[in-house]
Structure 1
Amino acid sequence: MVDLSTRLCGIDLRNPFVLASGPLSFDGAALLRAHRAGAGAVVTKTICEEAAINPIPHIAKLNSSLLNCELWSDLGPNDWLEREIPIAKEGGAVVIASVGMKPPNIAAYVGLLASSGADAIEVCSYDSRAMLPMLRAAAQSTNLPILVKVSANWPNVKDVAVACLQAGASGITAIDSVGPTLRFDIEKRAPLLASGVGWLTGSAILPFSLRVVADIAMAVESGIVGTGGIYRVDDCVEMLMAGATAIGICSLPMVSGLQVFAGLVGALSDRLAELGYTRIQDAIGAGLPALKKCLSTPFMTPSSREVTPHEFFSFDGDLCVDCGACIRVCSYQARRAPDQIHDDRCRLCGLCASTCPTGALCLSREAPPTTANEGQDCTS
């Protein structure tokens, strides 16, 4: 078992899992339930100047993702100060208060949050231009750690994150939901959500969150709560490898229940051990050296190595279940069988190998110096 305790912006966490701001953090009792279910920290629903009134309906399930047009907290700011945050703190939770107010109001409000027991602040806005003014206003009023929540919707998201860290932010939460997006109810001939368009969360946004987390981690050393798209334990490992210090989840416990926190804690500890890690800290950023190499090295092509496509593949017949998936997905009709390809048709796209459900078919990033697959028929 790998010890999952970690440290985020000077705060000790029993594990890296953070309940991200959302419906499951709507009040103090909800925060406490997540804490008792195993979350290492909890983030409040975003607190604004006035309580939100949400349209009906405002959340819809899409396979392993969610579409929502939900606004900020439907409780007022004083409710959080006087009742909700103290409830969660009295129960032992590490509480991060998410705040989405205008800068003058943040300056007045954030100074009161420490007295409520909040351990850290997260400032949040859909407008990238608002982040620095919000951060500066918050920093004037508190000594608590301040995280800045950034969005993959911003074309300059890395620059915004770096600027905020240079201006005094303690860490980054990456990312917020992605959108605007749209789905229709074809029977009703109307959008799924009352607002028409909405914001996407869940497994579909994992590649976005990984990219933003990695970009920030490669640019500057900082605590990062990698949030968005976590649905299974290997997603957690990827998030750590991208450079996240902690892992924010919201959609998964919404659709599967709060018990996912305890399940992920055990599964992540076991998975890290299987991969050879003895500490969670060793997994943080472990994928970045290879990513930097990919980004700085010219693409490898078959012609650059004077090898034929089949030399890039390895095949284990003992693992093959003859499902035919590798043949079916080949757009170029290059794969004749799991262990046979037409070299003149294969583009080495890799889809056949990534589709293989058992790992019987593998594709290397480059061919070995000697002929691969010796004794196997992977030639045309």
Structure 2
Amino acid sequence: KPSFGLYGTRKTFLFSSDSSKPILPCSSTLSEVGAGLQREFGFPVVWFGRCVIQVQFTDSGISRVLGFSSLLLNCLLIVNLVTRVRLEMEGEQLTEQETALYDRQIRVWGADAQRRLSKSHIFVYGMKGTVAEFCKNIVLAGVGSVTLMDDRAVTNEALASNFLIPPEEKVYSGKTLAELCCDSLKEFNPMVHVSVEKAELVTLGQQFFEKFDVVVISSCPPATKILINEKCRKLSKRVAFYTVECRDSCGEIFVDLQNYKYMKKGKADGPASECELRYSSFQEATSAPWGRLQRRTSKLYFAMRVIESFEEANGRNPGVFSVEDVPAVLQLKRKLCEAQSVSESFVPDTLLERLVIGSIEFPPVCAIIGGILGQVHLFALIPLKFYTIN
């Protein structure tokens, strides 16, 4: 006769039959129950014999027994049942609505990864076109919350590149970029909490960033990026830091995950090994001597440093240029190349002219850069057993 027991909390189950040999390893004490399966499935489960109990769950616990399923048909039944139980029974479980909405991506990276996303909190500053694309991607992916900050008013440039801003003047008049983007993002996914933070970025204290898992900064001077990056690095928890800028058809993304662990596939059929990357801070990355960088480093990196130096020296807001600025930018480039002990041809004049004249974001490129940023931010949120760096 098959028998079964349900012990302890809602997360501990004992399934047994008359068979003396368990199908999967088991333990005699509740504290040891399912140690191996807990690592694999997320909660302790013990299987005895050839029968699996099926039960119906409610928020308050188990309501009734539905019956037994034979494991002789297919061992996959174990995985299917445990996956379903895990989705429905964990303390911070995905709701039925979330499971249905995120069904496709759950099939790609699993329920645990989706649950990690749903508990993540993202801070975003600078609502330009590229950042708007990024926000759209993470809201559709199902992060827990997104906090926006940008008190600038709507401009023609913003209307041309940021699809989250409604084109009707009567709608956007009197509202900031963050407020308008917040309203639009809420419509993309009502299950994600989107809010606006009204403050000066440089005045935010270090503890403000402790409640976030990811911080994304755009459209601000390098000194501000360095300041925020250092605040994130000083926190007791790891807060991933990103910057993104897009000019014309060019863009760059900076990533600081501090110390990041990931799984690297072994050669041939060899086992995977755990590796760890140490990321540089924004200040370390941008202050590295040009001549010591790898030859394959894109010329865009150096051109962006020249543009940032010009903006900082002249008190310009990021992206505010005119054709008349080209001679001054080229002159600054020559000074920087001399200071870095590299040839003036190290930074092509044509590239600088292109970035100065076409400083406005190009919407198709915004979509690409925003999509890439939406992908790489998963490194900070999805556990290493679900994501492998390619």
Report if TM-score (shorter chain) is over 0.5: no
User: Quick check: which has more Rg, 1 or 2?
Assistant: 2
Q: By percentage of residues, which structure has more helix? A: 2
Question: TM-score, normalised to structure 1's length?
Answer: 0.29
